[in-house]
Structure 1
Amino acid sequence: MLSIYVDLALGLVLAFLMLSLLVSGLNEAFVRLLGIRSKFLWAYLRDTMDGSDAQGKSWLPAKVADVFASLPFVRDPRPVHSDQPAPVEAAQAPEHETKAEDAMTKLLYQRVQEIDHPKRGRTSIANIPPERFAVALMEMAAVEKDGVEGLLTKLKAMGSPLHGHLKGVWDSAQRDMDRFRQGVETWFDGEMQRLSMLYKRYVKWVVALLGFVVVLLFTMDGLEYGKTLLRDNAFRASVTAVSEAGPDAYSELKEQCAQSNPVPCITDTLSQPALVKVFDHAIVNIVIPAEGEPSVNWNGGTWWDRLTTLSHWPGYLLTFVALLFGASFWWDLLRRLTGIRGRR
C-alpha cells in the first residue's frame, strides 16, 4: 500500500516539476529577449543619478502594471551602446545639465562600457559590481578641481538625487578617500540588494501569469492526473496478478480491453504511463507512433471542450497553485523522495 502513495507522490512531483521548468524557461526567454534585467538596472541608475525624466516621470516602475505596460515596451532607460573603450580620463560633470540629457548616467556608462556588448543598439549591462561603481565615482571625482567636494557641488547644482547619498557617505567617512570608497561600495551593494528584491517582487507576478497560461494551454488537471496515476498502478497490479494467478485472473483485463485484442491493449497501456498521457489534452500535442516519425497535431476542439468543462477547474486551480512554488521547490522535493544527492 505504501508503494502506491509513493508512486502517486513521485508522479505528481515530476509533472509539477516539468511544468514549473517550462514556466521558468518561458520567463527567462522573455527576460533575455526584452533585456528586463538591464532595463531595471539602468532605470534605477537614471532615477538615482539624474532624477526623473523631462516630464517628471520616474524611470523605475512604481506599480506592477507599469512593469507590463511601461518598462519592457515603451521607454528604454538603457544608454546607447558604444563599441569604443572607456576614455583614459573621465569627463567632467557639467556645471548645469537638463534632466533630459542624463549627464551622470552617460558619465557612468563611459567608465563601465568595456564590459558591454550590444543588444539592439542599447547596452546589455545588467550588473555593475559595487567595487566597479565606487571606482567609477572616484574616477569622476579625480578630474574635478576640488575632488569629491567639487563633484558633490556639481551634483547639487544639477539637482541629482545622488548628491544626498554621496554627501552622507562623504561626511561619515570624515573626508577620507579610502573610507569614502568603501562607504560607496557598501551603499551601492545595499541598493542592488533592494533593487533585486523589487525585481523579484515584480517577476513573481509575471511567473504567475505564465503559470496560469501554461495550465490552460495544457489543460493540466492535477486531480484527474492523480486519479490516473492510481488507475495505472491498479492496472499494473492486475497484469501482475495474471502472471502469478494464471488464466483465472484474466477476466478483469479482458473487460478493460474488451474492444480490442487484450495483449496489444495491455502493451499499449503500459507503454503510455500517466506522465505521458497528461500532455495529450494540450492545444497542440505530439504523437509518437510505434513506427514512423512523430507528428504534431492540432487539438483545438478537444482542448476547448476540456477547458470549458467546469468540473476540471478545481484541478486547474490545484496545478496553478503548485506551479507558484517554483521549479526549485519541486526539484528539492523530488530529491528528497528519490534520495538523489545534489553535488556540492
Structure 2
Amino acid sequence: MLSVYVDLALGLVVAFLLLSLLVSGLNEAFVRVLSIRSKFLWAYLRDTLDGVGDKAPSWLPGSLRDVLVALPFGPDPRPKHSNQPAPADPGEMPATKTSDSMMNLLYARVREIDHRKRGRTSIANIPPERFAVAVMELAATENGNIPEFLNKLQRIDSPLYGHLKGVWESAQGDLDRFRKGVETWFDGEMQRLSMLYRRYVKWAVALLGVVVTLLFSMDGFEYAKTLLRDNAFRASVTAVTEAGPDAYNELKQQCTGGDPVPCVTELLSEPALVKLMGQAMVSVSIPAQGDPSVQGNFPVWWGRITTPSHWPGFLLTYVALLFGAPFWWDVFRRITGIKSRR
C-alpha cells in the first residue's frame, strides 16, 4: 500500500518539476532575447551617474508594468557598443551635465569586457574592482585629486557625488582605502539591485506559471486520480498471472473488444503524464508506426478551461509551480534517494 502513495508522490513531483523547468526556461529565454539584465544594470547606472530630474525621468523600473513593458520594449538605457579598447587618456569631465555624459565616460573605461548585441552593450555585470578602477581613472583627469573630482561631480549634479564623498571622508585621504571603499559600496549596490531584480523576476515567473498551467490545462487533482487509476490497472494486470482465468475475465470486461492484449499494451504505454499533456492546446502524438504528428486540441482544451470543476486542480498546479524547479528537484532527490554531488 505504501508503494501506491510513493508512486503518487513521485508522479506529482515529476510533473511539477517538468512544468517548473518549462517556466524557468521561458523566463530565461525572454531575459536573454530582450537583454533584461543588461538593461536593468544600465538603467540603474544612468540614474546613479547622471541623476533623475524633471527633464530626465528615472530609467530604473519603478513598477511591475515598467519591468514587463517599458524596460523590454521601451527606450534602451544601454550605451552604444564600441569595439575600441579603453582610451589611454581618461578624458575630460563634462563641463555641463548632459543626459548620458557620466555613463558614457564609465562605459569608455569598462568596454573591454563588452561584445556587440544588436548595436548596444551586452554588459550585464560590472565587477566591483573594475568599477573602482574606472572611478580612479576618471579621477586621474584631475591628476588624482579626488576632492577636485568630487567638486566636478557636484557641479554637474551627479548623484554619484554624495556616495563618493562619504567614501572619501571615510578613507581620510588615503587613495588605496578610497578605492577599496568604492569597491565595497558598489558591491553593496549590486547586491541591492540583484534583490530588486529577483523581486521583479518572481512576478514574471508567477505570470508565466499562469500561462503554462492554462496552456497545458494541467489539473493537479485529475492527474493524481489518473495516477491512482493507472496504478490499480497495472495491479490488475499483474494479478492475472497469479489469479488465473477469473482475473483474466475481469480484465477482459474492462477493455473494449475481444482481446485485452492490445488494450493493455496501449494503456501501459501511455502513462498518466502523457495523457494529461495530450489535453494541452497543442499536443504531439507518437503513433506505433509512422512519424510524430502535431495537432490542435482547441475545442477540448477550451472545454477544460471553462469547466469550473477543473479550476481547483489548476490552482493546485499553479501554486506548485510557484515553488520553483529547485524545490521540486530537491523533493524528487529525497524521494528517489539521489545524493547531491555537493
TM value normalised by structure 2: 0.98
What are the within-5 Å matches in structure 2 for residues 2-13 of structure 1? Answer: 2-13=2-13
Q: Which amino acid aligns with 2:154?
A: K
Q: Distance in 2 between matches of 1:318 and 1:96?
A: 58
Whether the 8 Å contact between 1:11 and 1:229 is mirrored in structure 2 is yes
Partner of 2:19: 19
TM-superposed deviation, 1:211: 0.7
Q: What amino acid is the match of 2:123?
A: I
Contact 2:281/2:296 (<8 A) preserved? yes
Q: How many residues align?
A: 342
Q: How many Å separate the matches in 2 of 1:289 and 1:330? A: 31
Q: How does 1:177-256 map to 2 (within 5 A)?
A: 177-256=175-254
Q: Equivalent residue for 1:292?
A: 290
User: Shift of the alpha carbon at 1:41?
Assistant: 0.4
Match of 1:283 in 2: 281
Letter of the 1:81 counterpart: H
Decide whether the 8 Å contact of 2:136 with 2:144 is kept in 1. no
Aligned counterparts, 1:40-189, within 5 A? 40-52=40-52, 55-98=55-98, 100=99, 102-145=100-143, 147-189=145-187
Distance of 2:259 and 2:212 partners within structure 1: 37
Aligned partners of 2:50 and 2:97 also within 8 Å: no
Partner Cα separation in structure 2 for residue 329 and residue 167 of structure 1: 44
Q: Identity of aligned pairs, percent?
A: 70
Q: In 1, distance between residues paired with 2:134 and 2:305? A: 56
* Shift in CA distance, 260/225, structure 1 to aligned 2, threshold 3 Å: farther
User: Would you say the 8 A contact 2:284–2:293 is kept in 1?
Assistant: yes
Quote the Cα distance in structure 1 between the aligned partners of 2:54 and 2:86. Answer: 27
User: What root-mean-square deviation, in Å, do the aligned CA atoms of Structure 1 and Structure 2 show?
Assistant: 1.1
- Structure 1 residue ranges (4+ consecutive) displaced by more than 3 angstroms after TM superposition: none
Partner of 2:38: 38
| Alpha-carbon offset, residue 260 of structure 1 | 5.7
Greater mean alpha carbon deviation, residues 253-262 or residues 233-242: 253-262
The aligned residue for residue 314 of structure 2 is: 316
Shift of 1:196: 0.3
Structure 1 Cα separation of the partners of residues 143 and 131 of structure 2 = 21
C-alpha deviation, 1:328, in angstroms = 0.6
SS at match of 2:295: strand
Counterparts of 2:329 and 2:286, CA distance in 1: 27
Q: Give yes or no for contact 1:53–1:59 (8 Å, CA) kept in 2.
A: no
User: What residue in structure 2 maps to residue 29 of structure 1?
Assistant: 29
Return the TM-score normalized by structure 1: 0.97
